[in-house]
Amino acid sequence: MSSIAKTVIATGTSSGLGFEAIKQLLQQAQPYSFILGVRDTEKTRVAYDDLKFDTSKHSVSILPLDLLNLKSVQSFAKQALSELGHRPLNYLFLIAGLAIGADGPGPHGSKWCESYMVNHLAQHYLTHQFVDVLSASQSRIVVVSTGAIRNVRGSDPGTLDVDLKANSGANAKVVYSASKFTQLLGAHYWRRTLPDCKVVAVSPGLIPNTKLAQHSGLRLTMDMPDAKTVPEGAHSILRAVTAEDFPDDPEQIFLTSWGEWWPKDVYALSLDTALQDKWCLSKEDIEKSEPVFQE
């Protein structure tokens, strides 16, 4: 076990699966240095302090990050890189998720709905901010995905252009599946763009007892088949951190909640490189297209 702390930058760690995943890592002998982006920094800081983790071994830095505001993403990235300094970045955890319908206006004038902004666009933009250090560090990028990527409406990626728009009226289930599908397109995009990094998409399984499930209206319960507790779901996520049994096929990047690599036919729609490029804009194109940068 290395005595040198491994560095982690992460989203979605103030509660639920993300918080539990960091909690489990803080219980390990391996030292970790965490830089966590959250909306409510004070509440989150208290939650981590209450864990009474070994501060002589681990460190937890909590910085403000609002994934509904791409300027906040930009600011967080700048702070995180400053705090990281010359250390390598071992892991980037993209855990944040949102599951609400597309019934209102887009954040900061965006043409896209909130769930798309959180689940894909903001975290894709965040990854752009770290490209140089990710490549130099040969980092592992862990993307928390879901089996719901199979449920794109009509099994037609053309519906994404409709369902993910602000005010589309698409319900939470449709929008969640569509936005997480675009997130998986992003995982493939970064696998291609950052060949020195290891990109792993992972499903934590069906986890009813999280804010994501409670606020989505999806009515998930623990008596459903394959339902898992939050600690079990976090354990599934951390399997993506430790896995070394990677398939020979570089496109086979999706780790299931039961610890196996999903065959590609399950997510075949996401393997279209033209589709990946369409939904994974460059940093510059995001800044040109999103109204928040013109405010």
What SS3 state is found at 216?
helix
Written as one string, the DSSP assignment of 261-279 is: BPPGGGGGGGG-HHHHHHH
**Catalytic-role residue among 32, 176, 189, 267:** 176
165 given a catalytic annotation:
no
Chain centroid to Cα 222, Å, comes to 24
- How far is residue 163's CA from residue 159's CA, in Å, rounded to a whole number? 6
Q: What's the mean pLDDT in 87-92?
A: 98
* pLDDT band, residue 219 (cuts 50/70/90): low
Domain count, the chain: 1
Residue 210 confidence (pLDDT) above 70 = no
Residue 227 confidence (pLDDT) above 80 = no
The verdict on residue 135 lying in a domain is: yes
Can you list the pairs that 268-274 forms with residues at least 24 positions away whose Cβ atoms lie under 8 Å? 269/152, 269/155, 269/157, 269/181, 270/149, 270/181, 270/184, 270/185, 270/188, 271/188, 272/157, 273/188, 273/192
- How far is residue 214's CA from residue 31's CA, in Å, rounded to a whole number? 33
Tokens of residue 260, six digits: 């196996």
Residue 224 confidence (pLDDT) above 80 = no
Note the pLDDT of residue 3: 78
Note the pLDDT of residue 242: 94
211 given a catalytic annotation:
no
The verdict on residue 1 lying in a domain is: no
**Weakest-pLDDT range from 29-38, 85-94, 150-159, 224-233:** 224-233
Tokens of residue 16, six digits: 């639920």
What SS3 state is found at 205?
coil
Residue 2 confidence (pLDDT) above 90 = no
- How far is residue 195's CA from residue 22's CA, in Å, rounded to a whole number? 26
Residue 288 confidence (pLDDT) above 70 = yes
Note the pLDDT of residue 254: 98
Residue 28 confidence (pLDDT) above 90 = yes
**Catalytic-role residue among 165, 180, 198, 228:** 180
The verdict on residue 271 lying in a domain is: yes
Q: What's the mean pLDDT in 175-197?
A: 98
Residue range of the domain that includes 255: 6-293
CATH of the domain at 198: 3.40.50.720
**At 248, which helix (H) or strand (E)?**
none
At position 251, the amino acid (one-letter code) is E
| Contact in structure between 70 and 290 (CB atoms under 8 Å) | yes
- What sign does the CA torsion over 141, 281, 113, 129 have? positive
